Amino acid sequence: MSNELRWNPILGTWVIVSSKRESRPWREEKCPFCPGTPETGYGWDVLVLDNRFPALRPDARTSVESRDIYRVEPGYGYCKVVIESPEHEGDLDTIPIENLRKYLRILGEETAKLCRDKEICYVIPFRNKGELIGVSLTHPHSQIYALPFIPPRINIELRNAREFYKEHNECLFCHILGFEEKEGKRVLYRNKLFTSFLPFFAMWPYEVHIYPRKHVLHLSDLDSGGIEYLADILRVTVSMYNRLFDFSLPYIMIFHQAPCRGNYNYYHLHIEFYPVHRARDKLKYPAGIEWGAWVFTYDDLPENKVAELRYALQKAVEYLRDRGYSPMGRIISWYTYLGGGTLTSRYS
């Protein structure tokens, strides 16, 4: 059994290669995340487990040696699974709110813990939901990868944020947030500490980003208030997605935080959602131009998609209230947008 990193000298990126991962189970008879299995036991509400079929592991061995320009390194790292509820069905808008808060605290604690390993450079929690995204287990769960390198997408974000900071002496993310809030056209929901919006430069039709309005770098920097308001906006966002077409919408949710160590004060924690639908019955397939060139095409105006998401948000707020949860923030209504009102006038 081997877990290794193979260097792509043309793209300058690592590929994680593991020999035995293919044999991992695809939809087992009995759910391994439900309480009462040898791994899960009983008496928990949120549970962290080691991935049984990790792509990275601390005792990783390579299958070959480096030779010529082909570099090989052990696939050192950790792959964790976070089970968000003992209930077999659910999403972040239906699990108890206490679970959601605890889940976020755990992601922060795990990040801090994994970063204490000097070999680990970057910790990335994410949630894949839905069979369309290739999720083999439907029990609500997320994953955490602790990587021995900074991933390329993060490197690009870091580089641009550093350049912007050097030029303007301001955080790029704080600036984007300020501008989105001033324009108000793409802002969706806002509570005391967080704002969600569909970015001006969205790549996925219903892509949504969530930024803390305070400049923080890691999940572990959030205090109990930060956790409470992040749980709120995640709950509302996921509920919005599930109301959009009135079915449980598949999505990828990813936490972008600063690397484990080093001075990255110009970076800013944020969450990105990539749903794969472009309409109720149509998917956005990343195909030739997306994969072959890393250029995304967007087949509508993002501002039009905002109107759809705001409508779904109204339904989401009602849905959550009916189930006993009162959202802590407010929708940035389409009336605000149509009336040309800016957020600064309403929310200063």
- Interface residue list for Fe ion (CB under 5 A): 256
| 88 is known as an active-site residue | no
Tokens at 331, concatenated: 């929708």
Three-state SS sequence of the chain? CCEEEEEECCCCEEEEEECCHHHCCCCCCCCCCCCCCCCCCCCCCCEEEECCCCCCCCCCCCCCCCECCECEEECCCEEEEEECCCCCCCCCCCCCHHHHHHHHHHHHHHHHHHHCCCCCCEEEEEEEECHHHCCCCCCCEEEEEEECCCCHHHHHHHHHHHHHHHHHCCCHHHHHHHHHHHHCCCEEEECCCEEEECCCCCCCCCCEEEEECCCCCCHHHCCHHHHHHHHHHHHHHHHHHHHHCCCCCCEEEEEECCCCCCCCCCCCCEEEEEECEEECCEECCCCHHHHHHCCCCCCCCHHHHHHHHHHHHHHHHHHHHHCCCCCCCEECCHHHHHCCCCHHHHHC
Task: Give the residue, chosen from 101, 268, 284, 305, that forms a contact with Zn ion under the rule CB under 5 A.
Answer: 268
256 binds Zn ion (CB under 5 A): no
Q: Choose the one of Zn ion, Fe ion, none that binds residue 88, judging by a C-beta under 5 to 8 angstroms depending on kind.
A: Zn ion
Size of the site for Zn ion (CB under 5 A): 10
Cβ distance to Fe ion smaller for residue 44 or 294: 294
CA neighbor of 329 nearest in space, from 231, 215, 198: 231
How many Cβ atoms sit within 10 Å of the Cβ of residue 48? Answer: 17
Task: Give the residue, chosen from 103, 173, 206, 325, that forms a contact with Zn ion under the rule CB under 5 A.
Answer: 173
Which position among 141, 209, 218, 256 bears the catalytic label?
141
48 binds Zn ion (CB under 5 A): no
List CB contacts of 105: < 8 A, sequence separation 6 or more: 227
| Part in contact with Zn ion (CB under 5 A); list of ranges 13-21, 135-143, 224-232, 322-330 | 135-143
Cβ distance to Zn ion smaller for residue 87 or 308: 87
171 binds Zn ion (CB under 5 A): yes
| Part in contact with Zn ion (CB under 5 A); list of ranges 77-85, 105-113, 162-170, 265-273 | 265-273
| Distance in Å, CB of 50 to Zn ion, minimum | 18
Cβ distance to Zn ion smaller for residue 176 or 312: 176
Cβ distance to Zn ion smaller for residue 60 or 193: 193
215 binds Zn ion (CB under 5 A): yes
User: How far apart are the C-alpha atoms of 62 and 55, rounded to whole Å?
Assistant: 12
Q: Choose the one of Fe ion, Zn ion, none that binds residue 307, judging by a C-beta under 5 to 8 angstroms depending on kind.
A: none
| Part in contact with Zn ion (CB under 5 A); list of ranges 73-81, 82-90, 224-232, 321-329 | 82-90
Cβ distance to Zn ion smaller for residue 4 or 84: 84
CA neighbor of 21 nearest in space, from 49, 61, 55, 50: 55
Cβ distance to Fe ion smaller for residue 80 or 256: 256
| Distance in Å, CB of 158 to Zn ion, minimum | 13
| Distance in Å, CB of 268 to Fe ion, minimum | 9
Q: Choose the one of Fe ion, Zn ion, none that binds residue 256, judging by a C-beta under 5 to 8 angstroms depending on kind.
A: Fe ion
Cβ distance to Zn ion smaller for residue 2 or 51: 51
Q: Choose the one of Fe ion, Zn ion, none that binds residue 171, judging by a C-beta under 5 to 8 angstroms depending on kind.
A: Zn ion
31 binds Zn ion (CB under 5 A): yes
174 binds Zn ion (CB under 5 A): yes
CA-CA-CA-CA torsion sign (63, 66, 70, 75): positive
88 binds Zn ion (CB under 5 A): yes
Q: Choose the one of Fe ion, Zn ion, none that binds residue 274, judging by a C-beta under 5 to 8 angstroms depending on kind.
A: none
Interface residues toward Zn ion, by CB under 5 A: 31, 33-34, 88, 139, 171, 173-174, 215, 268
Q: Hey, which residues are catalytic here?
A: 141
